[in-house]
């Protein structure tokens, strides 16, 4: 079944029973562990490497290992889960992530951090894809968008929690590493409430990750564009703010506005996607992405209007992740759903790797508004995919 199929409709039995609530809580707990682990480890390790005297290129190369690990390992996660069980593999990933977090301090060496980061990122990628498979498998069809909205909101809050923890415990000594390991374990505690409830993937034949991208490009490419814009935004938006003449503090606050919009709007947009064709919601998100990007140079002179634009833009653009994931869940089940979620996570990580250089290159070529033009091009390319697939569906 492709993403040109008719949208999933509400049908009887869309309420949540106690077992579904426990399952959803377990999946959401795992994704909060992902958010905390990534948002705490990335700035912490970067600051530590800077203290070691590592060059910017070296810091970037070590950070890029995270995306590489996810791309290489995630395709195998569904097969491992089919063999050992979703819950078992999730517990293993939590344990590996927590132990590796402590190992960064135990083996305090730039060279050692390459294999450690690979292992840590592989574990986090496993948590990512299996928690998304779990929540997609148990979400009621008529409430899938709402459940995904809650899921995405918790993920965004998890990303906000990491830097907040570093602000409290500091970025040196054992404290941040111990705090990170403890929070990863605590976030996974809902797994205890869902013992025996994890969905089985099964051993039947499933499409490959590459074929999933070809079969469902509207959903899977949404992850790539969102990963590129989200990561590029976190990395380049403050630089864009400085190029506009803002202070460093004011420019950094622009990222907070985008993140707050993402937190605030995912549940309302998820609810909306339960009541209409999700491809239309993705189309609207892409349109807002293009229009919002092109409006940035126009509104850059007004701090209030520019801030409001970034808030709305960040929230609507975040729907690419939320609704794209719900769209996959409506289209696939069993081994195919696991492969589809793997493709989604892989393309999100590819976006994380390509977004900063593409958007940063745009800023270098067309200062000061190259950030806006580069993001507009990314959304326009995705918009073309959505329009072409919907046109093919009508034919």
The answer to whether residues 57 and 177 belong to one domain is yes
Structure tokens belonging to residue 202: 């099964």
First to last CA, the chain: 16
Q: Give the Cα separation of 273 and 268 in Å (integer).
A: 9
Per-residue pLDDT of 149-203, as tens digits, reads 988 888 888 777 777 788 788 888 999 999 999 988 887 787 777 676 667 666 5
DSSP 26-62: HHHHHHHHHHHHHHHHHHHHHHHHHHHT--HHHHHHH
Reported as a pLDDT band with limits 50, 70 and 90, residue 13 is: very low
Nearest-CA neighbor of 34 among 95, 118, 121, 110?
A: 121
**Does residue 194 lie in a domain region?**
yes
**Does residue 1 lie in a domain region?**
no
Which pLDDT score is estimated for 49? Answer: 86
**Does residue 284 lie in a domain region?**
yes
The answer to whether residues 191 and 213 belong to one domain is no
Which pLDDT score is estimated for 34? Answer: 75
* Last residue within a domain, chosen from 157, 177, 198: 198
The answer to whether residues 188 and 316 belong to one domain is no
Q: Give the Cα separation of 90 and 134 in Å (integer).
A: 11
* Last residue within a domain, chosen from 177, 198, 219: 198
Which pLDDT score is estimated for 11? Answer: 42
Instruction: Flag whether pLDDT at 281 surpasses 70.
Output: yes
Instruction: State the CATH number of the domain containing residue 95.
Output: 1.20.1250.20
Which pLDDT score is estimated for 68? Answer: 84
Which pLDDT score is estimated for 142? Answer: 82
Reported as a pLDDT band with limits 50, 70 and 90, residue 4 is: very low
Could you tell me the residue range of the domain that residue 134 belongs to? 17-198
Q: Give the Cα separation of 318 and 291 in Å (integer).
A: 15
The answer to whether residues 254 and 282 belong to one domain is yes
The answer to whether residues 98 and 208 belong to one domain is no
The answer to whether residues 229 and 361 belong to one domain is yes
The answer to whether residues 351 and 382 belong to one domain is yes
The answer to whether residues 192 and 210 belong to one domain is no
The answer to whether residues 217 and 289 belong to one domain is yes
Per-residue pLDDT of 69-117, as tens digits, reads 888 888 888 888 888 888 889 889 999 999 999 999 999 999 999 999 9
Which pLDDT score is estimated for 196? Answer: 67
- The answer to whether residues 342 and 219 touch, using CB atoms and an 8 Å cutoff, is no
Per-residue pLDDT of 322-342, as tens digits, reads 999 998 888 887 788 888 888
- The answer to whether residues 229 and 354 touch, using CB atoms and an 8 Å cutoff, is no
The answer to whether residues 81 and 141 belong to one domain is yes
Structure tokens belonging to residue 5: 């199929």
**Does residue 332 lie in a domain region?**
yes
The answer to whether residues 77 and 140 belong to one domain is yes
* Last residue within a domain, chosen from 198, 221, 248: 198
* Lowest-confidence pick of 32-41, 251-260, 321-330: 32-41
- The answer to whether residues 176 and 79 touch, using CB atoms and an 8 Å cutoff, is no
Mean pLDDT throughout 43-72?
Answer: 81
Which pLDDT score is estimated for 96? Answer: 94
Those residues whose C-beta lies under 8 Å from the C-beta of residue 21, and which sit 6 or more positions away, are: none
The answer to whether residues 129 and 39 belong to one domain is yes
Structure tokens belonging to residue 44: 């912490």
**Does residue 239 lie in a domain region?**
yes
Which pLDDT score is estimated for 6? Answer: 40
Total structural domains in the chain?
2
Average pLDDT of the chain is 84
């Amino acid at each position: 079944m492709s993403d040109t199929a008719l949208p999933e409709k509400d049908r009887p039995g869309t309420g949540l029973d106690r077992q579904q609530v426990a399952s959803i809580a377990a999946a959401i707990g795992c994704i909060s562990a992902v958010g905390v682990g990534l948002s705490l480890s990335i700035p912490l390790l970067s600051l530590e490497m800077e203290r070691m005297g590592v060059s910017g290129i070296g810091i970037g190369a070590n950070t890029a290992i995270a995306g590489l690990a996810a791309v290489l390992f995630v395709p195998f996660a569904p097969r491992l889960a089919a063999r050992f069980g979703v819950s078992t593999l999730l517990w293993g990933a939590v344990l590996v992530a927590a132990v590796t977090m402590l190992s960064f301090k135990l083996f305090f060496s730039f060279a050692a951090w390459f294999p450690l980061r690979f292992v840590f990122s592989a574990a986090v990628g496993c948590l990512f894809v299996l928690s998304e498979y779990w929540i997609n498998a148990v979400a009621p069809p008529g409430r899938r968008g709402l459940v995904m909205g809650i899921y995405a909101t918790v993920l965004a809050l998890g990303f906000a929690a990491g830097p907040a923890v570093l602000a409290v415990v500091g970025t040196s000594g054992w404290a941040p590493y111990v705090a990170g390991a403890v929070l990863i374990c605590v976030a996974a505690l809902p797994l205890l409430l869902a013992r025996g409830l994890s969905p089985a993937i099964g051993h039947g034949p499933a499409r490959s990750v590459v074929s999933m991208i070809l079969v469902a490009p509207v959903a899977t490419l949404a992850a790539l564009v969102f990963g590129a814009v989200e990561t590029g935004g976190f990395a380049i938006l403050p630089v864009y703010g400085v190029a506009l003449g803002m202070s460093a503090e004011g420019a950094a606050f622009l990222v907070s506005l985008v993140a707050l919009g993402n937190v605030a709007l995912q549940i309302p947009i998820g609810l909306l996607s339960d009541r209409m064709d999700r491809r239309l919601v993705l189309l609207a998100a892409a349109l807002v992405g293009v229009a919002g990007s092109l409006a940035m140079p126009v509104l850059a002179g007004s701090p209030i209007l520019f801030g409001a634009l970034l808030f709305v833009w960040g929230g609507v653009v975040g729907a690419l992740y939320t609704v794209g994931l719900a769209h996959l869940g409506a289209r696939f089940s069993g081994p195919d759903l696991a492969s589809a979620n793997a493709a989604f996570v892989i393309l999100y990580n590819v976006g994380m790797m390509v977004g900063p250089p593409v958007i940063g290159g745009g800023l270098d070529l067309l200062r000061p508004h190259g950030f806006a033009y580069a993001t507009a091009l990314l959304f326009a390319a995705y918009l073309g995919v959505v329009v072409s697939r919907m046109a093919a569906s009508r034919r």
